[in-house]
Amino acid sequence: MIKVGIVGATGYTGVELLRLLAPRDDVSIEVVTSREMEGTAVSVLFPNLRGYVDLPFTAPDDEVLARCDVVFFATPHNVAMRSARSLMERGVRIVDLSADFRLKDRAEWEHWYKEPHESPELIEKAVYGLPEVNRDKIRHAQLVAVPGCYPTAVQLGFIPLLEAGLIDPMRLIADAKSGVSGAGRKAAVGSLLAEASESFSAYGVAGHRHLPEISQGLKLAAGSDVGLTFIPHLVPMIRGINATLYAAPVGNVSADDLQALYERRYRDEPFVDVLPKGGLPATRNVKGSNICQLAVHYLSASNTIVVLSVIDNLVKGASGQAVQNMNIMFGCVETSGLHSIALMP
Amino acid sequence: MIKVGIVGATGYTGVELLRLLAPRDDVSIEVVTSREMEGTAVSVLFPNLRGYVDLPFTAPDDEVLARCDVVFFATPHNVAMRSARSLMERGVRIVDLSADFRLKDRAEWEHWYKEPHESPELIEKAVYGLPEVNRDKIRHAQLVAVPGCYPTAVQLGFIPLLEAGLIDPMRLIADAKSGVSGAGRKAAVGSLLAEASESFSAYGVAGHRHLPEISQGLKLAAGSDVGLTFIPHLVPMIRGINATLYAAPVGNVSADDLQALYERRYRDEPFVDVLPKGGLPATRNVKGSNICQLAVHYLSASNTIVVLSVIDNLVKGASGQAVQNMNIMFGCVETSGLHSIALMP
Amino acid sequence: MIKVGIVGATGYTGVELLRLLAPRDDVSIEVVTSREMEGTAVSVLFPNLRGYVDLPFTAPDDEVLARCDVVFFATPHNVAMRSARSLMERGVRIVDLSADFRLKDRAEWEHWYKEPHESPELIEKAVYGLPEVNRDKIRHAQLVAVPGCYPTAVQLGFIPLLEAGLIDPMRLIADAKSGVSGAGRKAAVGSLLAEASESFSAYGVAGHRHLPEISQGLKLAAGSDVGLTFIPHLVPMIRGINATLYAAPVGNVSADDLQALYERRYRDEPFVDVLPKGGLPATRNVKGSNICQLAVHYLSASNTIVVLSVIDNLVKGASGQAVQNMNIMFGCVETSGLHSIALMP
Amino acid sequence: MIKVGIVGATGYTGVELLRLLAPRDDVSIEVVTSREMEGTAVSVLFPNLRGYVDLPFTAPDDEVLARCDVVFFATPHNVAMRSARSLMERGVRIVDLSADFRLKDRAEWEHWYKEPHESPELIEKAVYGLPEVNRDKIRHAQLVAVPGCYPTAVQLGFIPLLEAGLIDPMRLIADAKSGVSGAGRKAAVGSLLAEASESFSAYGVAGHRHLPEISQGLKLAAGSDVGLTFIPHLVPMIRGINATLYAAPVGNVSADDLQALYERRYRDEPFVDVLPKGGLPATRNVKGSNICQLAVHYLSASNTIVVLSVIDNLVKGASGQAVQNMNIMFGCVETSGLHSIALMP
């Protein structure tokens, strides 16, 4: 039985963790913290959990959290970097869904998050929790930094091309689109239904915090510097990310070769589904599931490779991937608790 | 291992049956029929099933279906009434999601469906598959008629009051609202996103086929005739039914007594969740789950009882309830395959 | 040229007033106030107004407002009751979109709004701005209280029946549904797209502030006390209200007579559109327009009259009706600036 | 008084033409044709037009149409190319919203539309109705081909850069997103609310009919061949197109210079609104209006120019632009009937 604590479970990644973990026989949810909601039953805030999670929220308490085998941080950035160390010293393993330990370059982290990093010594220890790249390291990690939602969709899409050296790494374009749950469960005028529905727009054009995270991963895959243009957009829907990726081939490529490359790269991956040639992934295909659906197209007229990548931002883009990491860390079957089929329609 | 066939699985109740049944270890999906899609892989039509359901659609064939333990009809009305008998004669058990065997009064069926009923002798054999009322009969049934979506939400809401004789059965009002998936997966201008979203309207005011089904069930609960006004509305969302029910008390009632009545009536029901006093069910609380959430209110100022009832029309209102019936028929744990928590947000 | 000021124009009724007034040749928008947005161009907050409204928001200033012919209060309740008097003493006419002057019974106002009313002496002077009832009084009013959104839809639906004495006034039910813009442009978790879309629920069952306003109007129409059950619901869309009204006839009625009654009652009303017999109003039919669409049905099986009433909550339910009132007050053609056709789809 | 006929007005561009033309004093709608709906009042199909358009649909009849000054074809492709000539011979001017006369290269048209062009001699006479490029030719045109929706958004975005020679014309990427009304008012499973809402996906990756139209316009602006990658996507909303355009500068560029270029290019254009530097257009800013909102960004880190372009696909992308063309052809003020402010929220 894996004893689990969840810190900061009042947001969407928190309720999604509970949805995925509560039905499991091999997991026991010991504590769910929230300062603001202390004393309220979790199922009052999230009525979908009635009958499944009977705990109240409690204030975070290291003594209690230290009794867990693993603690998930479903918090905004800058919480885990203050709390992880003391728990790790007591032997707790940490799965951090926030951005605190994703960037290996401390200066870059401090540039983008505009504050000093408070646990720089843990940055190196942290394993970037993208199982398709780091599965072996995750197995033994004490601290896993779960990738962001856009970074998951974009990296899984570009990695086969970069690893194979088939594209110009300096001319990468990622046009990404996310449902509104990506903005989190916080009161903000721009996320109101009356503002965000029946509209579509780009945002963060001048710079989005996921840009350095994506670049870091793509550099590792390319083995060289990369030039990435990343433009996120807001889609009037709850869940889902679609990344449309554009790359320039460096030599001759064919649609068949590209298809074979993707199928080979992800053949053994339980949560990456490469569609047959010509496929068109839709975010609805993965709503509520941990799967990343990919398709690769070669447009000969403009000699451009287009990769389409979709995930559920709250599952493969956050809580599902966090559970996948936990499964790897604790020697569970990697797909445990992640079997459920996407809700369609 | 329960061998399952699904007839007419190209609609929303079909894909929902597959979503619920495919992950089960004790169920084997043997055949999925569709004349129109014969030869196409099920997962081509429904890409959420990639990796879970590898069968192709096949043309309906009694020989093949007869090898199943149970056949689900996920068809429009008037298919099951033509096909059920020959399968039943070979010992197959039938779970019919259509309207063919819901009404006990053949004349009424023929009035509302405007054609002769082709298996009138089966009407009597059919058990109306509302487990909260007919669990014992379902256990031994060879033919179960799964209730309609509106009828499930409305009956579960009114039944405690009628059984207890607390309300005037001649003055029942059910103002019901359904997501668009209730109209099925068929090309119709009125169900287009550009027509149905950003709008709300009543329909079927002059008479909806679910009216006689609801009345039939309410009469049984009341032990007398009932007078029901039923107005359905279309909500710009995919899934979910909300029924707001209005009733006039016949004597003194109190909010506390009503609350106790509902809690008592549904105490042992795994899929009926009575909210605490003052509760406000929302369809999102049950999206993708088999639960019916209920709340009962007493408005003293106007001496009116208001019951709020929500379900997912495709789960408790169709395929989930069908699986619940199958579980009862085959002696499985009633909640098998129906554990998954509603997707929120 | 009518000189107009708008107080508190950062909400949805504010931007809607500007949308309706800015294109007019006979109206000059002199001042648009907001403490919080002082100095910001109105069109920065509302980019649909670029090129149409070039003013900045300014802090409210009685000197400036007093130079207007009419001042609209597009504020939450309790602002107008503090500011109207001093403007009225300087001869300014007031169109108040808030609830401050809607209820004639001061004690009831104070009960529902939980604070003392600060201008009780103006309550009597205020004219309730429902032109279909009070057109003559509006003409000469110095202070108009624009009806709420639900009250407009419900009153226009019930009034013909009550005036004609055809229904039992003690058994009125209004099952009402509103788009999310009715909650205003304020950051609130419950109004987030990720919370409010793909869901439907009742709210305010224990008591909604529009209940006493509706009852007040229905009493006047009935000439007697009324018993009203009013249940509002939230619809996952931006604009629109649908009210489904249930009433019990006191004698024999026929669908034809009811139809004739409604057509006669609203024959000369430019903004009430009675659909032909059997009609099913949809909120999309009036999106962006000042029209209330009505249909009346008689269900003989349950001897119940059902009236369907739809409006755009921000137009006929707020800013459009405010402009209609202004037109009447200033002797303009009543439909001035209110011609635009509903946006469909 | 301009006498107007509309052929094929049962789709979304038809009802939108009527919304824009019906309120005008200088336009008389003489005839609205539809074979399928012959005899039905237009306002029965489109209830937003009740009281504004009292005509019935009639079967197309050249005698009747020939009495009009201008006939709009709001039809699928291949209707206008069969009917335009005989009307033109009688002196009628034609505004064709379909694709029949958009491509100057007949072979290319026949390649993409997979049938012979039936009026090749008119191709040359047709003026491509993008006023920002062809205003003078439109003035005297007898036959105007109204640009497609994607082509309008993409061309207006790229043209300033190409005319100024600032970018590599062989490396253009247009990642475009459209609301579902772009698929028209026809029953299709993929456009159902239950299919298209809560999802996002690319389509037409292998080739979309708007690609040759866009390329044709960009070539004219560039004065050279262009290499364009165009990927359209479906957005779960009714109206709106967003095009995110990527280009590689050929020399040094600065954000300020780019801003100045766009402001200069469109300074006198009544329907192109260049946002201030750093702007983020949203489709809601132009919902129901004829405006194209543009913003230009320079991303120095990846040396890429990103242009954001939004329109309402049914207005500037179809019927509004058609009316703008009519205004130019008939010497009306170009903005006549196109003043209405976008509906927000």
The token pair that represents D343 in the structure block: 């509906």
Q: Do D198 and A228 touch (CB under 8 A)?
A: no
- Asked whether the beta carbons of residue C187 and residue A185 sit closer than 8 angstroms, the reply is no
Average pLDDT over chain B, rounded to an integer: 97
Q: What is the pLDDT of residue C199?
A: 98
**Residues B278-299, mean pLDDT to the nearest whole number:** 98
Sheet architecture: strand order including C27-33:
C57-58, C27-33, C2-7, C70-73, C93-96, C143-145, C127-128
Q: How far apart are CA A85 and CA A144, in angstroms?
A: 13
**Inter-chain touch A235–D200, beta carbons under 8 Å:** yes
Helix (H, G, I), strand (E, B) or coil at A302: coil
Span C75-89, mean pLDDT?
96
* Shortest alpha-carbon distance between residue D198 and chain C (Å): 9
Span A94-107, pLDDT tens digits: 999 999 999 999 99
CATH number for the domain harbouring residue B75: 3.40.50.720
Chain B hits for C297, Cβ within 8 Å: 205-206
Using only C-alpha atoms, what is the Rg of chain A? 20
Nearest to B306 by CA among D197, D142, C246: C246
Of C335, C228, C244, C241, the residue nearest C285 (C-alpha): C241
pLDDT digits (tens, 9 = 90+) for A33-85: 999 999 999 999 999 999 999 899 999 999 999 999 999 999 999 999 999 99
Which of A290, A338, A343 lies closest to A26, judged by CA? A338
Confidence band of D168 (pLDDT split at 50, 70, 90): very high
Residue D28: the pLDDT is 98
Whether A44 and A164 share a structural domain: no
Q: Are residues A154 and A202 in the same domain?
A: yes
The confidence score (pLDDT) of residue B102 equals 98
Q: Tokens at residue D85, please?
A: 């000539």
How far apart are the C-alpha atoms of D308 and A205, rounded to whole Å? 10
Distance CA A235, CA A201 (A): 8
Q: What share of chain C is helix, strand, coil (3-state, %, to 5)?
A: 35, 20, 40
Cβ–Cβ below 8 Å for B201 and C306: no
- Determine the Cα–Cα distance for residues A12 and A279; give it in Å rounded to an integer: 30
SS3 A116: coil
Which residues of B are marked as active site? 149
Is residue B161 domain-resident? yes
What's the average model confidence in pLDDT over B337-341?
94
Does residue A335 lie within any of the structural domains? no
Inter-residue contact B221 to B159 (CB < 8 Å): yes
- Are residue D65 and residue D103 in the same domain, yes or no? yes
Backbone angles phi, psi at C187, to 5 degrees: -65, 115
Residues A107 and A64 in one domain: yes
C-chain residues near B302 (CB < 8 A): 227-229
Report pLDDT for D154: 98
Contacts of C48 in chain D (CB under 8 A): 284-287, 289, 341-344
Are both D95 and D163 inside the same structural domain? no
Q: Are C289 and C340 in contact (CB under 8 A)?
A: yes
| Cα first-last separation, chain A | 35
Question: CB-side exposure of A18: number of CA atoms within 13 Å?
Answer: 33
pLDDT reported for residue C268: 98
* pLDDT one-digit tens code per residue, B65-111: 999 999 999 999 999 999 999 999 999 999 999 999 999 999 999 99
With respect to residue B330, please indicate whether it lies within any of the assigned structural domains: no
Identify each DSSP E strand in A203-275 by its residue range: 228-234, 241-247, 272-274
Average pLDDT over chain A, rounded to an integer? 97
Kindly state whether residue C138 falls inside one of the protein's structural domains: no
Counting the structural domains of chain A, the total is 2
- Which of C95, C7, C16 lies closest to C57 in space, CA to CA? C7
> Stretch C92-100: mean pLDDT, rounded?
98
Supply the pLDDT for residue A174.
98
B→D contacts (Cβ < 8 Å), by residue, are 12, 179-181, 183, 185-189, 191-198, 236-238
The alpha helices in C40-92, defined as continuous H runs, are: 42-45, 62-65, 80-89
Which domain CATH number covers B159?
3.30.360.10
Mean pLDDT for the stretch of residues B130-159: 98
Q: Which residues of B294-309 are buried (b: 16+ CB within 10 A; e: fewer)?
A: bbbbbbeebebbbbbb
* pLDDT confidence of residue D307: 98
Banded model confidence at residue D172, pLDDT cuts 50, 70, 90 = very high
The residue from C77, C93, C125 where one domain ends is C125
Domain, as residue range, for D84: 2-125
Angle at C309 between CA C305 and CA C311, to 5 degrees: 175
Question: How does residue C274 score in pLDDT terms, banded at 50, 70 and 90?
Answer: very high
Sheet holding B127-128, edge to edge: B27-33, B2-7, B70-73, B93-96, B143-145, B127-128
pLDDT band at B34 (very low <50, low <70, confident <90, very high): very high
Among candidates D181, D194, D195 on the partner chain, residue whose Cβ is nearest the Cβ of B194: D181
CA distance B91 to B166: 43
Q: Which chain C residues are Cβ-neighbours of B177 within 8 angstroms?
A: 177, 200, 233
Whether C207 and C295 share a structural domain: yes
If asked whether residues A162 and A273 sit together in one domain, one would say: yes
Please report residues of B whose CB lies closer than 8 A to that of C308: 201-202, 205
Closest CA to C139 of C344, C331, C341, C296: C331
Q: Determine contact, residues D19/D323, Cβ cutoff 8 Å.
A: no
Q: How far apart are CA C179 and CA B81, in angstroms?
A: 42
What are the helix (H) ranges across chain B?
12-21, 42-45, 62-65, 80-89, 106-113, 120-125, 131-139, 149-163, 193-196, 210-222, 255-265, 320-329
Catalytic, out of D68, D149, D292, D332: D149
Tell me what pLDDT residue B26 has: 98
Beta carbon pairs, A and D, within 8 Å = 144
Give the dihedral sign, CA B181/B187/B189/B192: positive
> Is this model's pTM higher than 0.95 or not?
yes
Q: Which pLDDT band holds residue C71 (cuts at 50, 70, 90)?
A: very high
- Measured CA to CA, the distance from residue D16 to residue D26 in angstroms comes to 18
Please indicate whether, in this complex, the C-beta atoms of B231 and C306 are within 8 angstroms of each other: yes
Identify the band that residue D218 occupies on the pLDDT scale cut at 50, 70 and 90: very high
Exposure string for B43-80, b = 16+ CB within 10 A, e = fewer:
bebbbbbbebbebbbbebeeeebbebbbbbbbbebebb
Residue C52's Cα: distance from chain center in Å? Answer: 25
D17 and D70 inside one domain = yes
Q: What is the pLDDT of residues D283-341, one digit of tens each?
A: 999 999 999 999 999 999 999 999 999 999 999 999 999 999 999 999 999 999 998 99
Please spell the DSSP secondary structure of B104-156, one letter per residue. S-HHHHHHHH-S--S-HHHHHHPEE--HHHHHHHHHT-SEEEPPPHHHHHHHH
> Are D227 and A303 a contacting pair at CB < 8 A?
yes
Q: Are A299 and A278 in contact (CB under 8 A)?
A: no
Q: What DSSP assignment string belongs to C298-319?
A: EETTTTEEEEEEEE-TTIIIII
Mean pLDDT, chain C, rounded, equals: 97
Domain boundary among C125, C140, C172: C125
Active site residue C332: no
Question: DSSP string of A169-186?
Answer: TTSEEEEEEE-GGGG-SS
Same domain, A92 and A185: no
Does residue B328 belong to any structural domain of this protein? no
Query: Distance from C84 to chain D by nearest Cα, in Å?
Result: 28
Strand ranges of the sheet holding A93-96, from the earlier edge strand across to the other edge: A27-33, A2-7, A70-73, A93-96, A143-145, A127-128
Predicted pLDDT of residue C111: 97
- Which segments in chain A show pLDDT lower than 70? none
Within a domain: residue D132?
A: no
> Would D236 be classed as within a structural domain?
yes
Beta strands in D50-171 (DSSP E): 70-73, 93-96, 127-128, 143-145
Say whether both A49 and A166 belong to one domain: no
Cβ neighbours of A280 in D, within 8 Å: 201-203, 205
Q: Is residue B278 part of a domain?
A: yes
In this complex, which of A197, A205, A283 lies closest to D237 when CB atoms are compared?
A197
Size of interface B-C (CB pairs under 8 A): 145
Positive or negative: CA dihedral B193, B195, B201, B202: negative
List chains touching C (3+ CB pairs under 8 A).
A, B, D
**How sure is the predictor about D151, in pLDDT bands with cuts at 50, 70 and 90?**
very high
Are B99 and B155 part of one and the same domain?
no
Q: Is the peptide bond before C151 cis (omega within 30 degrees of 0)?
A: no
pLDDT tens digits, residue range A299-324? 999 999 999 999 999 999 999 999 99
Residues B82 and B179 reside in one and the same domain:
no
Give the residue on B whose Cα is nearest the Cα of A12. B345
With pLDDT > 90 as the criterion, what percentage of chain B qualifies?
Answer: 99
Please give the helix or strand (H or E) that residue D112 lies within, else none: helix D106-113
Which H helix or E strand runs over D225? none
**Nearest residue, CB atoms, A201 vs list D228, D281, D345:** D281
Q: Which of D275, D283, D277, D273 lies closest to D335 in space, CA to CA?
A: D273
CB atoms within 10 A of CB C162: 22
Count of residues in chain A: 345
Q: Are B318 and A29 in contact (CB under 8 A)?
A: no
* C341–D282 CB contact, under 8 Å: no
